[in-house]
Structures are given as C-alpha cells and as structure tokens.
A and B are shown apart, each in its own frame.
Chain A
Amino acid sequence: MDFRWDIFWKYLWPPSAFQNPLIERGFVLTILLAVTAETIGVLLGLLGALALLSKRRALRGLATVYVTYFRGTPVIVQLALIYFGAAAIGLYGFPSKTIGFITLSGAIQAGIITLGINEGAYLTEIIRAGIISVDAGQMEAARAIGMTNNAAMRWIVLPQAIRVILPPFGNNFNGMMKSTSLVITIGALELFGAYQEVNGVLFDPFELFLACSVYYLALTIAWSWVQGRLERRFGSPDQRIFKPRSDGFGPRRRVTGTAGGAEMVPAEGRLPRRHGVAP
C-alpha cells in the first residue's frame, strides 16, 4: 500500500492547500453555504412552527405539506428539482451573480436556497417541539405574577424552549456543514468539489479526500465546542448527573487484576467531578 504522504501533507496543511485557489474558495464557500442556508432555515423554521401551531387550518395544512415533502425526499432530489426545474419552467435561470468580491455561481445559489428550505422543514419540527415542551403551567404561573403574554414568552417560555431546541439545532447545523458537500451533484464547487477537481488531475483519491475530511472535521469539531458552550450557557434539558465511580480518587490498595465488581463507567472517558457525599 503506498500512501503518498507528500500529497496528503501538501493538501492538508492550510498554507500549501490554500495555494490552490479552488480549495481556498471552496473552504469559504462551504462556510458561507452553511451559515446562509441555516439562517434561511431558522427563519422558515420559526414561521413553519408557528404555522403548525396556528388555529387556522389552511396554515397548518400548508406547513404540513411543506414539512412532509422536504423531510420525506432526498436533498439531492430537491437540489436537482430546484436547480434544473426552476430554469426549465423559466422561473429563474440561476445565472452567476457577483456580490461584492464573491462570485456565486448559479449552482451555489441553488444550493443555498435548497439547503435552506430543506433545513427549514427540519427546524419547523424542532422548534415546534421546543415550544410545546414548555409546560403550560409556566405560562399560567407567569401570568399569575402579572406578566403580559409577550413578557411571559420573552422571559419564561422561550428561554425554556431554547434549552430544548438547542441540542437538536446544534446537531442540525453540524449536519448542514456536511450537507454542503451534496451541492457537487448540481455542479457547484465548494470544498469537496475543489478536492474532486484536484483529484481529477492527480488521481490520488484516498490521500486527497482524507486531507479534505480533516477540514470538515475541523469545522464540525469547532462547532461542537461552540454548541457545548451554548448548551452549558442555556442549560440542557435533562442534565442527568452521572454519579462518580465509587472508588473515586483515594489511595487504592495494591491489587493485580482485571475488571471486577462495581458498576458502569461514566459515559465520558474522563472521571467526573467527585461528590464526596456518603449517605
């Protein structure tokens, strides 16, 4: 097996990798795609959630159709439908557009729109679940101490809803960053597409795509860290405190041997903070 380390390192190390303009652009585009699409998704998700919770049947029906279609069909099909379809019926030809210093190809635009609409469908469900998860009694109690509807929403209901919404939202954005790669199916050139182009010349797929995946890893790990901070700031809904192992940190007896008695290891590999409380 001869792994071309030189190629791998060249296309992994940012200074050398970004010398390739496609890769540099691709990296920026990937982030742009993810953030823009997610923003569209959040807006649509909010509208959709409120529509699903609305008293008007027409709104509920519309939202249901929207959610059912976009969560029940593949993103790639949606991409093709919107990109080729909009041009075919003469709605929008998806020409290249230049905004400031960025040139967005038609495919990228279609990608942003499709991913945004798709995300909106998933966020509709997530936000709706978050809102209805807040106990009705919370609103009652808030009113009982004299808050208006809006104040109750702002200070009591939504903060609690956000706690429930945050983890799935975070996971979704994580997924979004990875889904941006799907736009290559309509010919858009973001990060993955850039590496594909390079591979078309060099024919070292494993080395190149391994390097490519490291960039995505960096993005997702960075986001996970942010997500973790956000969740801690807002408090995740079930903070199950996993009790520490009984043998804590104290002086251990001299024993040889293997796995023995006691209970489950805490899920994270590290030993959790001790509680030091004996019954």
Chain B
Amino acid sequence: MNFDWPIFIWYLWPPSAFDDPRILQGLEATVGVALVAMVIATGIGLVGALARLSRRRAFRALATAYVTYFRGTPILVQLFLVYFGCIEFHIYGFEPLDIGPIVVTGALQAGVIAIALNHGAQMTEIIRSGIIGIDRGQMEAARAIGMTYGRAMRWIILPQALRIILPSFGNQVNASILITPILITIGGQDLFGVFLAINGVNYHPIELFLDCSAYILVVSMTWAAIQRRLERRVGVSLAEARPRSNA
C-alpha cells in the first residue's frame, strides 16, 4: 500500500491547502449552505409544528402532507425535483446570484432550498414533539392567568419545549452539514465537490477524501461543542437555579 503522505499532508494543512482558493470556497459553501438552510428549516419547523397542532383541519392536513412527503422521500430526489423542476417549468432559472461579495451558484441555491424543505419537515416533528411533551397543566395555568394561546406559547410552552428540542435540533444542524455533498449531483461545489475535482486531476482518492473528511470533522466537532454549550445554558440536563429574572 503506498500512501502518498506528501499529498495527504499538503491538502490537510490549511496554509498549504488554502493555496488552492477553491478549498476555502468549498468550505464556506458547505458551512454556508448548511447554516442558512437550518435557519430557514427552523422557521418552517415552528410554523409547521403550530400548524399540526392547530384546531383548523386545513392547517393540520397541509402540514401533515408536507411532513409526510419531505420525511418520506430521499433528499436527493427532492433536490432534483426542486432544481430541475423549477427550471423545467420556468419557475426559476437558478442562475448565479450576487450577494455582496459572494457569488452563489444555482446549485448552491437549490441546495439551500432542498435542505431547508427537507429539514424543515424534521424540525416540524421535533418542535411538535417538544411542545406536546410539555405537561398540559402548564397551558392551563397560563390560560388561567389570562394569557391567550399565543402568549402562552411564547412565554410558557415554547421556552420549556426548547429544552427538549435543543438536542434534536443540534443533531439536525450536524446532519445538514453532512448532507451538503449531495450538491455534487447537480454540479455544486461544496467542499467534497472541490476535492472530487482535485481527485479528477491528481488521482489519490484515499489521501484526498481523508483530508476532506478531516475538514468536515473539524466543522462537525466545532458544532458539537457549540451544541453542548447551548444545552448547558438552556439547562437541558436539569433545571438549575439561574439568578437573573426570566419573566
């Protein structure tokens, strides 16, 4: 087995690796797509969860259909549907977008949308589970002091649900970081796409893909550390006395 150490180290060590500007761009693309998609997904999740818990049957049906579809089909298929579907039916051409100093390619845009929709369905279920996990008496007590449904959700139910939701939310963020390579199927240049291209010229799959893994591991573990801090702050393990007023 001849493991090409020079190449492995060259592309592992950031200063040398970043000589190739595509690598940093790929890294930014990976992290950017994942984070933006998750922000949107969380918003969708909140709306979806409340819709699934709504008294209006129409909202419930719509939300359930959305969740069933996007949790029941592969994200790759969804990506293709979004990307090619919009182009085929002239809804949106997925041309590169200029956002400030960055150029966001069509593939990346489609990636954000597809991941957001897919993870939005997951977040819907996660948030919904969190809400219904809260003791019914909390809602009653909130109503009893004159809170509307909305206020009760905002100040009493959701803050407590947050504690339950956070770990699963953290896993979803991790998942979104790890799913970005699907963009290579539509020509997107996330970090893996870049390494694939490099491999195409300089065929050393093990060395290069291990390097790619290393970068993503660092991102993933960084998020894990952030997640742990967030969980501690919100008090996931148990309610701890916090001095400041939270009302």
Q: Is the pairing of A and B real?
A: yes
Q: Which residues of A contact B (CB under 8 A)?
A: 1-3, 68-69, 71-78, 80-81, 84-85, 88-91, 174, 178-182, 184-185, 192, 204-206, 209-210, 212-213, 216-217, 220-221, 238, 240, 242-243, 259, 263-265, 267, 269
Please, which residues of chain B bring their CB within 8 A of the CB of A76? 181-182, 184, 192
Q: How many B residues have CB within 8 A of the partner chain?
A: 60
A-B contact pairs, 14 of them (CB 8 A): A69-B217, A72-B174, A77-B213, A181-B74, A185-B185, A192-B74, A216-B77, A220-B71, A221-B68, A221-B72, A259-B55, A265-B53, A267-B128, A269-B60
Rounded to whole Å, the gap between the CB of B58 and the closest CB of chain A is 11
Q: Is the CB of B81 within 8 A of A206?
A: yes
Closest to A89 in B: B1
Please, which residues of chain B bring their CB within 8 A of the CB of A80? 192, 196, 205, 209
Selected from B64, B88, B192, the residue in CB contact (under 8 A) with A74 is B192
Selected from B57, B80, B217, the residue in CB contact (under 8 A) with A72 is B217
Q: Bound complex: CA of A81 vs CA of B205, how far in Å? A: 7
Q: Bound complex: CA of A182 vs CA of B128, how far in Å? A: 29
Q: Bound complex: CA of A180 vs CA of B91, how far in Å? A: 29
Q: Is the CB of A213 within 8 A of B57?
A: no
At the interface, yes or no: B228 with Cβ under 8 Å from chain A?
Answer: no
Within 8 A of A (CB), among B186-234: 192, 196, 199, 203-206, 209-210, 212-213, 216-217, 220-221
User: Count of A-B contacts with CB under 8 A?
Assistant: 149
Q: Bound complex: CA of A160 vs CA of B14, how far in Å? A: 48
Contacts known (A263-B140, A264-B53); A212 close to B72, Cβ less than 8 A: no
Query: Looking at chain B's contact residues, is the secondary structure mostly helix, strand, loop, or mixed?
Result: helix
Q: Is the CB of A74 within 8 A of B74?
A: no
Q: Bound complex: CA of A243 vs CA of B139, how far in Å? A: 13
Q: Is the CB of A217 within 8 A of B69?
A: yes
Q: Is the CB of A77 within 8 A of B216?
A: yes
Chain A CB within 10 A, most for which of B73, B85, B139: B73
At the interface, yes or no: B136 with Cβ under 8 Å from chain A?
Answer: yes
Query: Looking at chain A's contact residues, is the secondary structure mostly helix, strand, loop, or mixed?
Result: helix
Closest to B79 in A: A209
Please, which residues of chain A bring their CB within 8 A of the CB of B81? 205-206, 209-210, 213
Selected from A74, A205, A242, A264, the residue in CB contact (under 8 A) with B179 is A74
Please, which residues of chain B bring their CB within 8 A of the CB of A78? 213
Selected from A71, A213, A240, A242, the residue in CB contact (under 8 A) with B73 is A213
Q: Is the CB of A264 within 8 A of B213?
A: no
Closest to B83 in A: A205
At the interface, yes or no: B52 with Cβ under 8 Å from chain A?
Answer: yes
At the interface, yes or no: B133 with Cβ under 8 Å from chain A?
Answer: yes
At the interface, yes or no: B132 with Cβ under 8 Å from chain A?
Answer: yes
Rounded to whole Å, the gap between the CB of A106 and the closest CB of chain B is 14
Q: Is the CB of A205 within 8 A of B88?
A: yes
Closest to B85 in A: A206
Q: Bound complex: CA of A205 vs CA of B205, how far in Å? A: 31
Closest to B69 in A: A217
Selected from A89, A178, A213, A264, the residue in CB contact (under 8 A) with B206 is A89
